[in-house]
């Protein structure tokens, strides 16, 4: 059921570990060591024991869990509440060629790569070399490296023209590169942005209008969790109040 090379999640209800299984190897935790062969034998939903007798359950990780608990964060990540919405709004699907810049920690890259597989690809442009290695490791953890190409390159540099079916931009000053971004998109292709401040939103909207993008929208999503207690149901005391404003448009004419 579990194939070699697949990423599995081990959970004991408190701790979660993510690993790629490989026959003969051993995975060390603070609760003891686990044989990869035992994981393969147990299968998804099965149990494995460490050499100290501690039990973990083997779970197929969801994209959501990989992003929230599995990847190493070297940057602010795009949260699942946003990345699910972005992917639908950009219409990311099998076979598409998608522009992404920067790659950050690869959280959104993973979601979009999962959506373009098996015949599409995410083309990342990241100017900070220090993020690329980490992002690549995270994408590999999700088993999606085949669908991602990371270029160590800023958006200032020329991009392939009239090439991308969609794009998502997460850089500080996207308005500086708007014409370059536009050229790289096919006509009518959707583009998205995430920006933390209202000042950046104003400048980006302005640039989108000047570059004749159409169908411009600005959205924010608020995620509120509740305590799962049937007879005392209530929201959690605190929540994330802001990740970023999402902007969407389509390349016009």
Give min distance, CB of 252 to a copy of itself, in A.
Answer: 8
Nearer to a copy of itself, 130 or 234 (CB): 234
Report the alpha-carbon distance of residue 71 to residue 66 in Å, rounded.
6
- The answer to whether 110 touches 144, Cβ cutoff 8 Å, is yes
> What is the H or E stretch that residue 203 is in?
helix 198-210
Whether the bond between 42 and the residue before it is cis, its omega within 30 degrees of 0, is no
Which two three-digit tokens encode residue 211? 């570059």
Nearer to a copy of itself, 69 or 151 (CB): 69
Decide: helix, strand or coil at residue 88.
Answer: helix
Decide: helix, strand or coil at residue 8.
Answer: strand
Nearer to a copy of itself, 33 or 217 (CB): 217
User: What is the separation of C-alpha 238 from the centre of its chain, rounded to a whole number of angstroms?
Assistant: 24
Nearer to a copy of itself, 36 or 117 (CB): 117
**121-126/148-152 β-pairing:** parallel
Give min distance, CB of 199 to a copy of itself, in A.
Answer: 5
Span interacting with a copy of itself, options 22-30, 133-141, 149-157, 200-208, rule CB under 8 A: 200-208
Give min distance, CB of 240 to a copy of itself, in A.
Answer: 6
Give min distance, CB of 129 to a copy of itself, in A.
Answer: 26
Q: Count of residues binding a copy of itself (CB under 8 A)? A: 84
Within positions 31 to 70, which residues make up the interface with a copy of itself, using CB under 8 A? 44-47, 57-65, 67
Within positions 202 to 231, which residues make up the interface with a copy of itself, using CB under 8 A? 202-203, 205-206, 209, 214-231
Which two three-digit tokens encode residue 52? 């100290």
Span interacting with a copy of itself, options 29-37, 89-97, 131-139, 153-161, rule CB under 8 A: 89-97
- The answer to whether 97 touches 47, Cβ cutoff 8 Å, is no
Q: Please tell me whether residue 160 binds a copy of itself under the rule CB under 8 A.
A: no
Q: For residue 239, which of 253, 225, 220, 218 has the smallest C-alpha distance?
A: 225
Span interacting with a copy of itself, options 128-136, 152-160, 176-184, 235-243, rule CB under 8 A: 235-243
User: What is the separation of C-alpha 138 from the centre of its chain, rounded to a whole number of angstroms?
Assistant: 9
Span interacting with a copy of itself, options 25-33, 129-137, 149-157, 238-246, rule CB under 8 A: 238-246
Binding residue for a copy of itself, selected from 5, 14, 130, 236, defined by CB under 8 A: 236
Rg of the chain (C-alpha set): 20
Give 185's DSSP letter.
Answer: B
Give min distance, CB of 96 to a copy of itself, in A.
Answer: 9
């Amino acid at each position: 059921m579990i194939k070699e090379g697949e990423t599995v999640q081990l959970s004991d209800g408190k701790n979660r570990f993510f690993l790629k299984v490989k026959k003969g190897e051993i995975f060390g935790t603070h609760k003891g060591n686990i044989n990869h062969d035992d994981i393969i034998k147990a299968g998804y939903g099965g149990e494995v024991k460490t050499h100290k007798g501690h039990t973990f359950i083997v779970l197929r990780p969801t994209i959501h869990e990989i992003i929230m608990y599995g990847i190493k964060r070297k940057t602010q990540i795009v949260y699942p509440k946003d990345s699910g919405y972005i992917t639908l709004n950009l219409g990311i699907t099998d076979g598409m060629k998608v522009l992404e810049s920067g790659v950050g920690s690869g959280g959104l890259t993973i979601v979009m790569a999962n959506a373009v597989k098996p015949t599409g690809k995410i083309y990342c442009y990241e100017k900070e070399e220090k993020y690329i290695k980490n992002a690549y490791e995270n994408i590999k953890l999700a088993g999606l490296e085949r669908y991602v190409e990371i270029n160590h390159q800023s958006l200032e540099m020329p991009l392939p023209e009239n090439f991308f079916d969609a794009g998502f931009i997460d850089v500080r000053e996207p308005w500086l590169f708007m014409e370059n971004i536009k050229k790289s998109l096919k006509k009518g292709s959707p583009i998205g942005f995430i920006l933390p401040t209202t000042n950046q939103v104003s400048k980006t909207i302005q640039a989108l209008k000047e570059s004749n993008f159409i169908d411009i929208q600005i959205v924010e999503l608020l995620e509120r969790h509740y305590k799962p207690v049937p007879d005392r149901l209530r929201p959690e005391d605190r929540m994330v109040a802001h990740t970023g404003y999402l902007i969407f448009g389509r390349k016009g004419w």
